């Protein structure tokens, strides 16, 4: 083998062994933003509500607040939805695909009815929280949810307390475990994921404190993560950009502390 090639192989192995993420981490803060910001409109239609979400992704449906299934057209992620009022300021929404539950959303209004918090729960994923600020429409006793809403990016947060672990695997690679898991090397190859909506991951060591993770689903890049470890090795910031199953672009920043 050529001396330069040998040097390159040795350097790659050394970089792989020096993954700055190695350790156990706990989430201390997180911020999520949809790009571009979405707008939400809720209007009354007799005994039903008409909901329209516009922006990078579009959703339009009409349903009764009785917990019965209503059809949703033009959305690849789900085709049925249930809406029911839990109490005066809370509504529960269930998204289904051919009868199977995909996600549960709980909408909660503040006492002044000017802020709406949506918490989306889905198996295998951390809760996603989106906060909307009322930008128009009436606040009535019959339906406080009705009106025009704009997403408040400064208050959007993911569930706190997420934990992850990165370990050296003894083969110049790493074992990653969190909401999903994998074992991979820094060799530009694709490695399988477990418990993930994506299929494979490729790792790249950018510098001594930065790692890029590239995720693919059906041979298409769906998500790119950049992990940056602080100079003292105590804190790690994850910036992730990707595309949801609905086609919507999302960007999230999470900060972890080593323990």
Write out pLDDT tens, residues 148-197.
676 655 655 554 567 788 988 877 789 999 889 999 999 889 999 999 88
**pLDDT for the residue 18:** 55
d(CA 206, CA 90): 46
- Shared fold status for 17-32+160-258 and 37-155: yes
**pLDDT for the residue 184:** 93
Give me the residues of the chain with pLDDT under 50, please: 1-17, 159
**pLDDT for the residue 8:** 37
Where are the chain's structural domains? 17-32+160-258, 37-155
Can you read off the two tokens belonging to residue 119?
A: 């918490």
**pLDDT for the residue 128:** 83
Contact between residue 38 and residue 56 where contact means Cβ atoms under 8 Å apart: yes
Region class of 9: left (phi > 0), else alpha (psi between -120 and 50), else beta: alpha
CATH 2.40.128 for domain 37-155, yes or no, is yes
Instruction: Enumerate residues 6+ apart whose C-beta is below 8 A from 237.
Output: 227, 228, 230, 253, 254, 255, 256
Q: Is the peptide bond before 195 cis (omega within 30 degrees of 0)?
A: no
At residue 12, the 3 state secondary structure works out as helix
**pLDDT for the residue 2:** 37
**pLDDT for the residue 106:** 93
Q: Compute CA distances 6 → 1, 2, 185, 205, whole Å.
A: 7, 6, 18, 19
Mean residue pLDDT of the chain comes to 79
CATH code of the domain made up of 17-32+160-258: 2.40.128.20
């Amino acid at each position: 083998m050529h001396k330069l090639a040998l040097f390159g192989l040795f350097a790659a192995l050394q970089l792989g062994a020096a993954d700055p993420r190695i350790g156990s981490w706990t989430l201390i803060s997180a911020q999520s933003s949809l790009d571009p910001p979405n707008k939400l409109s809720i209007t009354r239609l007799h005994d039903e509500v008409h909901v329209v979400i516009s922006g990078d992704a579009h959703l339009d449906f009409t349903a009764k607040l009785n917990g019965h299934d209503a059809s949703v057209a033009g959305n690849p992620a789900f085709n049925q939805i249930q809406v029911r009022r839990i109490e005066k300021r809370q509504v529960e929404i269930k998204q289904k695909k051919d009868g199977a539950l995909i996600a549960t959303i709980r909408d909660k209004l503040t006492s002044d009815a000017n802020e709406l918090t949506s918490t989306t729960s889905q198996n295998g994923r951390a809760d996603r929280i989106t906060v909307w600020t009322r930008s128009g429409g009436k606040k009535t006793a019959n339906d406080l949810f009705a009106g025009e809403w704009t997403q408040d990016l400064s208050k959007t947060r993911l569930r706190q307390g997420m934990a992850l672990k990165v370990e050296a695997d003894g083969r110049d690679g790493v074992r990653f475990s969190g909401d999903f898991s994998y074992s991979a090397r820094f060799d530009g190859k694709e490695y399988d994921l477990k418990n993930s909506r994506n299929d494979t991951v490729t790792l790249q060591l950018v510098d001594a404190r930065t790692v890029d993770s590239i995720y693919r689903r059906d041979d298409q890049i769906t998500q790119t993560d950049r992990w940056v470890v602080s100079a003292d090795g105590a804190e790690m910031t994850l910036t992730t950009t990707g595309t949801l199953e609905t086609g919507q672009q999302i960007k999230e920043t999470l900060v972890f502390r080593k323990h």
